[in-house]
Structure 1
């Protein structure tokens, strides 16, 4: 039976692959409790020759590196750093690739894409924020779904408030105002209410990012 051909990577995937640099061989730093909101750590076990298992880890510091502030993903194999890349990243591993991407609210993708078969999300470290959110979903699935639905609702509300304000601002540009007139947003919030809504949307977007569910809507709402 002929082996199915592998799909040709897109230009974005090829660009992400070219960003990958060799790692320095340093050991994976342990996860500390104070890093719960600033560090994402995901794990993947893949079969190795001889029946053994190789453990890959993807480490992302959400606040960026100390030297230049750039957010990078670092790939570790059995505890040793083997590759590093700016985001979005695409690391080659046995049997496929690990793809990592982020938005301002957090990671939106950390998946293993096999050469054949369906992709799957890596497992978050149990002490990370993503791991704690995954534990909540495992132990209390109904509550987890309710929280997810409320978070999505807040993001949509944020979009409904933000979009008219953006249109109003753009319409006040002299060239646009002279040609089509200005637009007045029908939604007017007091400064206090505006702050409350902004904080709620940020929290909701963060919650969605912990489940790797963030999208362009989260960027627009914020």
Structure 2
């Protein structure tokens, strides 16, 4: 029931497309654009997301193309009803969180990323160099865990000094006090880790905290 309510709300955000053709993917759009493809017996679909937002209002929208022509667009999260199911699209602070085709019987699969996109290049690395891909995935998750843990330890300290909180729970003195340059470096590597996870559409609540 909850999922149905969310889907109905998302479908109300859908607006008709203008019928223009799908723009070609350019190399300089590597990290600013995500393009996913779905081939079905009924039609060929594409989902195009510009992470910088639309020029007129800055809103990040998903655009659905059917057989190369724009059929619909929607704010995030987007649910596009198509033959045999629905395409669910969601973006996060570091890129895409979800772009899946969910069939009417509940089965789901990830749309195929365009080979020239960052997601497509990351998927190709996973196929051609699985060992290296797994190592990168482990390192990126570790970087996010370390970054979030260090940030929380330093954040809890000043919060615990607020009088009502200190009286109710006591104060907490963080064992970790990093200089400014170390905090900046930690933030950079955490962003890199979350970005790599987003390329695999593996973002979670952990990356939301990092954001």
TM over 0.5, shorter chain: yes
For the structure 1 residues 61 and 169, does the alpha-carbon distance in structure 2 shift closer, same or farther, using more than 3 Å as the test?
Answer: farther
d(CA) in 2 for partners of 1:170 and 1:78? 54
Q: Which of the residues 168, 186, 191 maps onto 2:175?
A: 186
**C-alpha deviations, 1:146-174, integer Å up to 9, x for none?**
00011011111112112222322432334
CA RMSD of superposed structures (Å): 1.6
**Cα deviation code 1:58-78 (max 9, x no counterpart):** 000011111111110000001
Counterpart among 14, 21, 43 of residue 20 in structure 1: 14
TM (normalized to structure 1)? Answer: 0.90
The answer for unaligned runs of 5 or more in structure 1 is 1-6, 49-53
Residue 30 (structure 1) aligns with: 24
For residues 61 and 161 of structure 2, the distance between their equivalents in structure 1, rounded to whole angstroms, comes to 38
Counterpart residue number, 1:39: 33
Runs (5+) with no aligned partner, structure 2: none
1:79-90 equivalences under 5 Å are: 79-90=68-79
Q: Distance in 2 between matches of 1:189 and 1:214?
A: 27
How many angstroms does 1:8 deviate by?
8.6
Q: Is 1:128 aligned to 2:122, yes or no? A: no
TM-score by length of 2: 0.94
Residue of structure 2 equivalent to 1:58: 47
Q: C-alpha distance in 2, partners of 1:9/1:62?
A: 26
SS, match of residue 193 in structure 1 = helix
